[in-house]
Amino acid sequence: MAAELPQQKAGGGLARRLVRLLRRKRSTSGSVAGGGEYDESSMDSSINSLSKLKLSAAKLDVLFRSAAQPAASPAVDAAAAHALVASLFAGVSAVKAAYAQLQQAQHPYDAEAIQSADAAMVAELTKLSDHKRRFARDPAAAAKSAAAGPAALAAHADEQRHLLRTYEITAGKLGRELRARDAEAERARAALADDLRAARALEERAHPGRTLAALDGLHLSGLNATHFLTALRHAARSVRSFAKSMLVEMRRAGWDPVAAAAAAHPGVPLRHPGDAKFALESFVALKMFDGFHRRDFGLSALHDRSSYDRRRLFDEFAELKAAPAAEFLDARSSRWGALGEFLRDRYLSVVHERMEAAFFGSTSQRGAAASAGAALPGTPWFAEFAEMARRVWLLHCLFLAFDDGDDGGAGTAVAAAAAWGSPWCRGSKLGGR
């Protein structure tokens, strides 16, 4: 109706203008011919002409309205429509596959593959454009044309084939990206290892004897007693440090160190009260080195380590030596599960329940250590104990990595260790396997 109103207004305006013109013409001609007399016949002819004009305008209006209204298109068959939609989806999937192939050909650059993919894209887009034009012109004819070609099932098969090709190209691209990321991560790990070695070397120069930098770069074939003695010195130093911390906590809690030493070694007299620290050092060392000569450290949970050979033990030594504390203290890591079992067992053996309660007011650290699978404590006290346990474990791995038949092997290492610090090794049976 909104489209019809302007046409009606235009027709009415034209009629009114024609009436005015005819009246002016009649008035002018009447005044000239009859001296102002009214011509009745002239007026009738004008009215007839006006009626004819109105009738013509009405016919034109009907014609315009019929032209503006779209002709009713015949209904589209459901099967034909399904075939048309299937062909459209097949064409779209073909365009996607060609575009993915075009991207793949750019890295690395392949001119022939680029031209082939570009031609395939143009061909598929041309087909889709033809479908669009035919459907816009006559939907029913376009659907029948699609149904007359390959069946809908064949179109579905083409669609799946193109999608599979797209997924294969995408999977190949993601695989290349993954390999590139792995290579980048490997380079980052190598750079980190170099930085850690440099940091340990600087720390060794600043504080000689406090780090394990002197044991960097070892090879299984080049092991000798000097390497074992170096590791033994580091382990003994960590034992002394933890025993000193234990003595400080005893004094802070109001304990008598002499009484504690007498409880640790009954029947051993002390010449001076200050000698109690040696008794505590001996107590800690005996607990930590118990079962040192056995591959499983005398723990049933580590029974599978009885089959470890020299190479595997040396590799474990080299890897643990460079690992940060946060890594081997992570209870979720299966890589250092054996060391975690050793940590838990030795902490419960060295730190008595009454001792921890007196030092810290609770036994939460013992509770965490006693719970298998629970997170290990993150306190400075336990961190110092863990570092001592790690150095004892490193010495254990290095000791078992020596060759029995080598003159400079385990026998020489044990003899040197016994001569250097026999109080530490008393009762630990270092000479056995």
Phi, psi of 150 (to 5 degrees): -60, 145
Same domain, 59 and 84: no
Same domain, 302 and 396: yes
User: For residue 373, is it within any domain?
Assistant: yes
Same domain, 393 and 290: yes
DSSP state of 432: -
User: For residue 362, is it within any domain?
Assistant: yes
pLDDT tier at 419, thresholds 50, 70, 90: very low
Domain that holds residue 41: 4-65
Same domain, 365 and 237: yes
pTM: 0.53
Same domain, 371 and 316: yes
Question: 118-139 pLDDT, tens per residue?
Answer: 788 788 788 777 777 777 777 7
Count of structural domains within the chain: 3
Question: 106-121 pLDDT, tens per residue?
Answer: 777 778 878 887 788 7
* Long-range contact pairs involving 302-308 (C-beta distance under 8 Å, separation at least 24): 302/338, 302/341, 302/342, 305/338, 308/400
Same domain, 407 and 271: yes
Please give the structure tokens belonging to residue 143.
């659907």
pLDDT tier at 168, thresholds 50, 70, 90: confident
H/E stretch holding 265 reads: none
Same domain, 170 and 246: no
Same domain, 53 and 151: no
Same domain, 230 and 348: yes
The answer to whether residue 348 scores a pLDDT higher than 90 is yes
Question: 241-276 pLDDT, tens per residue?
Answer: 999 999 999 999 999 988 988 888 888 888 888 888
Cα(93)–Cα(161) distance, integer angstroms: 9
User: For residue 190, is it within any domain?
Assistant: no
Question: 310-342 pLDDT, tens per residue?
Answer: 889 888 888 888 777 777 777 667 777 888 889
With both helix axes pointing from N to C terminus, report the angle between 111-137 and 78-106 in degrees, rounded to the nearest 10: 160
Same domain, 237 and 373: yes
Mean pLDDT score of the chain:
75
Q: How far is residue 117 from each of residues 88, 97, 98, measured CA to CA in Å?
A: 19, 9, 5
User: For residue 208, is it within any domain?
Assistant: no
Same domain, 290 and 415: yes
**The Cα angle at residue 196 between residues 315 and 182, in degrees rounded to 5:** 70
